[in-house]
Each structure stands twice: as structure tokens, then as C-alpha cells.
Amino acid sequence: MGVAGVAGSTLQPKPGARAQVAASSKPIQALFVTGGLWHDYKKLVPSITKTLATHDNVHFQIETGLDVWRKPDFAAGYEVLVYDMCYDDVDAESMDNALAAGKKTPTIFVHCAVHSFRNSPKVHEWEEYIGLRSKVHDKFGPFEIVSVDPDSSLLKNIPGRWKTKGDELYQTIELLPGSHPLLQATSPVDGRTHTVAWTHTYGEARVFATTLGHDGKTEKMPEYRQLLENAVLWVAGR
């Protein structure tokens, strides 16, 4: 079921070419797909989208459930796709539509979207879209997050080290070739280091993904919100 999005205030333009300023004043059209298991998306999604709409000048179309994927052209007219969801299954045709759209439309993956579709025969294709493989996570709890590319524009206005008050640390199985790590965290449980934010290219489109954001403990943190704000502008080429 679709929910009408909201347009935020215009982001203050930075010095630069007039064309760049004009582009930044036009709202980014984004499709936000959510829903599924284990998370309180009814609370998370309004909070996330309100923040991004206000600071990044985004108009969101929010869709709960995967019915939107049944249309091959579901991404038409959108500059950005955002997937903050948690599903174990999806039919093959819908998955094909999602993968085809992702090769042309910049995408942001949040938290359990990285663990979704484990029962799908095309789960590896989904992981190739994301740029990382992960299946399990540490027990919910606090951990420190460290920047591994402090010069990246995606980490602008974010400290080199910060600590979430509580989240699920997803264990990295493989960061796929072509993916670029941005943030990492060392497990308090076994001392292994895992990538928690990265960039990737799928087809001709930019991808940003983060495994952070299980609930409001991380989502309300200014560092996390800044990360998502930067990500929307980056994938949209703004």
C-alpha cells in the first residue's frame, strides 16, 4: 500500500556553478520500500523519511510490502530507491524486476535489506546488487564505529569514531569486488572486524548500503542521520 511522501525544505546550496545550485533546489524523487519481519517500521520509517525530506529536499513515495515490484517499470520517474525492509521470500518475477531497476536507478540499502531473501533462489544476485554477503549478526548491543575513508564525501560532518548505543553488528562474509568500505566495527564478541557501510556500482547505478539501523537507538543518532543524508545526495549525484 502506497503512502504519499512529503517534500522537505530546500537544502542550502553550496558555492559552485549555477547549474549545480539549480539541481540542488529541485526535490529528489525517491521510492522508499519497507515492511517485513523483526523491526518496527511503523516508527522507523516516518522518522527517517522526515529527516531526509527536511535536510536533503527529498519527496518520498513510501510503499509497504513488495507488491510494487510486480510492475517491471516500478522505478520509472524515481531518482533514488531506498530499501529498508526485512523479507525472507519474494517471487522470481518480482526479484527480476527489482534487479533490472537497480542496474539503472541509484539505490540505498538499510540494515535488514542486506539480510533479505535468504530463501530466494536468486539470493546471490541480490547480494551482488548490494555488494556484500552477510547472513548473521551479533547479539544486539553497543559497539564502536570507525571511519576507514575519512576523505569520502559520504562521511562529511561525521566523526572518525563514534559509538552506537545499541544495534546489530552484521557479520561480513565477503565484501564483493568493486565495493568500497566506508565504516567498520570490531565485534565485542569475537574481535573480528566487519564492514558496516560501503559503496558499490550495480550496472550503471550507484549503490550505498549500511547494516546499521535496527531501531531508534541508532536511527536517532546525529552521526547516523548525517550518514543517510550524505548517502541520498551522493547516490542522486547531487
**Is the pLDDT assigned to residue 13 strictly greater than 70?**
no
pLDDT tens for residues 52-67? 999 999 999 999 999 9
**Is the pLDDT assigned to residue 16 strictly greater than 60?**
no
Mean local confidence (pLDDT), 186-213:
97
What percent of the chain shows pLDDT beyond 70?
90
pTM over 0.75: yes
Per-residue pLDDT band for 5 (boundaries 50, 70, 90) equals very low
Per-residue pLDDT band for 18 (boundaries 50, 70, 90) equals very low
Q: What does the mean pLDDT of the chain come to?
A: 91
Mean local confidence (pLDDT), 85-93:
97
**Contact 93/66 with Cβ under 8 angstroms?**
no
Pairing of strands 28-36, 80-86: parallel
Cell 522505478 appears where? 75
**Is the pLDDT assigned to residue 20 strictly greater than 70?**
no
pLDDT tens for residues 129-155? 999 999 999 999 999 999 999 999 999
- Packing angle, helices 41-56 and 222-235, rounded to 10: 60
Nearest CA among 105, 113, 96, 232 for reference residue 170: 113
CATH superfamily to which 2-235 belongs: Class I glutamine amidotransferase (GATase) domain (3.40.50.880)
> Quick one: pLDDT at residue 4?
37
Q: Which of these ranges, 17-31, 59-73, 174-188, has the smallest mean pLDDT? A: 17-31
Mean local confidence (pLDDT), 40-55:
94
pLDDT tens for residues 154-184? 999 999 999 999 999 999 999 999 999 999 9
Hey, where are the domains in the chain?
Answer: 2-235
Per-residue pLDDT band for 24 (boundaries 50, 70, 90) equals low
Per-residue pLDDT band for 25 (boundaries 50, 70, 90) equals confident
What percent of the chain shows pLDDT beyond 90?
89
